[in-house]
Structure 1
Amino acid sequence: MSSSRGSVVVTGANGGLGSAIVAHLLGAPDPAAGYTGIYTVRKAAGASRLQSVLRGAPAAHRHETLELDLASLARVRETAALINRRVASGELPRIRALILNAGYQDQTSLTMSDDGFEMTWQVNFLANFVLSLLLLQSMDEREGRILIIGSWSHDIEDKRNAMGGNMVYKDPKWPTLFPDVDALAKGRWSTPEDEASWHSGFRRYGASKLCAVMLVHELATRLGKDAKLSGISVIGLDPGGMSSDILRRGSFVRRVVTMKVAVPVLAAVLVRLSANAAVRPTWKSAADVVRACFEIEAPGRALYLNGTEELETARDARDAGKRRALWSYGLEAAGIGGGDTALADWQ
């Protein structure tokens, strides 16, 4: 039987932000000593960054690494079922924080999953949708928190999208990031055939993040009306621009010069001028994630943060009709039924 105060699940724990979140948890005495860490990676054998961080874990911090491939809905279901069984048996404590951090972005290519969905949409939205619904039965019902990593790219009106003269959202051919759910899911929108540059992949990334932010709103609304689960909070968090591996499928200039050279230098300077600057070090964004999960009061509604400041989400994310359409599509796409989730208003 577990004596821990709760579990903390972090997806994408080997990435730049994911490993920084784990490092921050280990450096914060209360979370490290009081909670059980469940850190998911696509392949445990290749998770060298996470392994390096965990070598510095205090002896009191119970933790384990689980393999989770978000590109496979079957693997997502299997992992959720495993966690649910272990929580039900008392082997793991209930989930205090579910941090859905893992992300994916194509650049000039378009990748389809074996499930038949555009990879960016599946990893950034659909897999998070499935994990959230399936793991509700294992959440701490009084003060559990589900945190989904967002992005300024979800809002075509966010001025940060135009940094550096970027005109990706200025083309009148692309007036919205939510044209049709099926087109997004099946990879028929903003394709390399439509535009051969990295703009096509960035738009799909923005659309997938819009869907993730819509999930923040819709799940929070439904949980708020649930007699048993209303104590669970749902938070979205924009971590800002960071030096990470999200552009690993991009050109040498974007992958190395921008992300590994320019961004770290900018982040180190800008964070001294503004805590929530457009570009931030991963340690700062990781601290913001941990703060949102453990240090702020439960919002009692959907909350979206830009670092530490509340930020209004895109107009499409606040459209209840579009959110319901996305929710219904997600249920069908993932084959979710009433027996899969503890949420009363799941349909």
Structure 2
Amino acid sequence: MASKGTIIVTGANGGLGSAIVQTILSKPDLASNYTGLYAVRKAATATKLQETLSKAPSSHKHETVDLDLGSLANVRKVAADINARVAKGDLPRIRALILNAGYQDHSRLVMSEDGFEMSWQVNFLSNMLLTLLLLQSMDAQEGRILVIGSWAHNIEDKRNNATNAYKDPRYPTLYPGAEALAKGQWSRPEEDPSSNSGFRRYGASKLCVIMFCQELANRIAKDPQLSNISVIGLDPGGMPTDIARRAGFFLGSVVMKVVVPVIAAVSVRINGNGMFRPAWKSAADAVRACFEIEAHRGELLHLDGTAELEIAKEARDETKRRELWEYGLEAARIQEGDTALANWK
């Protein structure tokens, strides 16, 4: 049977990413009728993904792809290869682009080889570049683009009260400007040596990617060729994954591997969209958003699990979104011919 389309999952070796792959494999219609393209930083060391795929049904066509979101050149290379294969008919058009990969540091500030703060590049800029490049290969009638967000993108979200990161009066906003975020000039470790400095940068990067999604949805809605593509943001809640592995032993190991799993297992029975959720629940929400709910076209659909949730006030600011979009185009060196989006400038 011919494949109905391609499902791309980035960060497929992570806790949520591998759970999304497992969810796809558990659904016969998806596993048998769609081709999986699972992107990881290094396929040779992607043990979680390898273990998950070892149980894949024989009917599931899939590949593992090396994708380093810390390198814009690598993002371009991977996207060019996918576009070429789709154009030749060797790979089905993209039915779901699930942008799950993420980066979070806490006390350190790491710059990418491209000269950008790593959280900002991995969580926002590389996703912007990858998405715009791959639009030409999307299923123009049923395609869905889903970005994994976070409550951390909203400085007013009460769930952030669990930390003191957003209570410091020196940081009244998560968007001090694209340049400050891109160049790592904001919430630096020397200003705040605690883990809150990195958490703020993470939250700001998630704000930027939600701002991108809102702007992309608006532009796609006016595109005569792409207007049926849905753009979705998903807050997966707090999960016991390895996203905090750079946070030190207590948070990275004790809290995330011992405390959160217990809380999440209990919480999901009380409220499926609660603050903490098992990775399997959020993975199911991601697959649901891409394949099981009615297409949401014309504007961004932002979900908190299965419930609709309004994006942050700063993400609704058209002036800020425009500034970020233009800065992102320049930072990623996006030029005429790079994207199928008509109104990309």
TM-score band, normalised by shorter chain: over 0.9
**Aligned mates of 1:160, 1:35 — CA distance in 2:** 37
Aligned to 2:60: 61
Aligned to 2:245: 248
1:142 equivalenced with 2:135 (yes/no): no
**Equivalences for 1:198-217 in 2 at 5 Å?**
198-217=195-214
* Superposition deviation, residue 30 in structure 1: 1.0
The two structures, once aligned, show a CA RMSD in angstroms of 0.7
| Runs of at least 4 residues off by over 2 Å | none
**Equivalences for 1:280-291 in 2 at 5 Å?**
280-291=277-288
Aligned to 2:85: 86
Secondary structure at the counterpart of residue 221 of structure 1: helix
Secondary structure at the counterpart of residue 97 of structure 1: strand
Aligned to 2:168: 171
**Equivalences for 1:106-121 in 2 at 5 Å?**
106-121=105-120
**Aligned mates of 1:316, 1:233 — CA distance in 2:** 22
Instruction: Encode CA deviations 1:63-105: one digit per residue, 9 max, x unaligned.
Output: 0000000000000000000000000000000000000000001
* Superposition deviation, residue 15 in structure 1: 0.2
**Aligned mates of 2:344, 2:91 — CA distance in 1:** 25
**Aligned mates of 2:212, 2:50 — CA distance in 1:** 31
**Aligned mates of 2:70, 2:121 — CA distance in 1:** 7
State the one-letter code of the partner of 2:215: E
* Superposition deviation, residue 167 in structure 1: 1.6
Aligned residue among 289, 306, 318 for 2:304: 306
* Superposition deviation, residue 22 in structure 1: 0.1
State the one-letter code of the partner of 2:309: L
- What TM-score do the two structures reach when normalised by structure 1? 0.98
1:337 equivalenced with 2:317 (yes/no): no
**Aligned mates of 1:230, 1:263 — CA distance in 2:** 40
**Aligned mates of 1:180, 1:134 — CA distance in 2:** 25
- What TM-score do the two structures reach when normalised by structure 2? 0.99
Aligned residue pairs, count: 344
* Superposition deviation, residue 327 in structure 1: 0.4
1:183 equivalenced with 2:180 (yes/no): yes
* Percent of residue pairs bearing the same amino acid type: 65
**Aligned mates of 1:239, 1:132 — CA distance in 2:** 20
**Aligned mates of 1:32, 1:277 — CA distance in 2:** 29
**Aligned mates of 2:118, 2:62 — CA distance in 1:** 29
**Aligned mates of 2:165, 2:63 — CA distance in 1:** 40
Aligned to 2:230: 233
* Superposition deviation, residue 230 in structure 1: 0.3
**Aligned mates of 2:29, 2:105 — CA distance in 1:** 38
Aligned to 1:276: 273
Structure 1: tracts of 5 or more residues without a match: none
* Superposition deviation, residue 298 in structure 1: 1.0
Aligned residue among 232, 251, 260 for 1:263: 260
Aligned to 1:23: 22
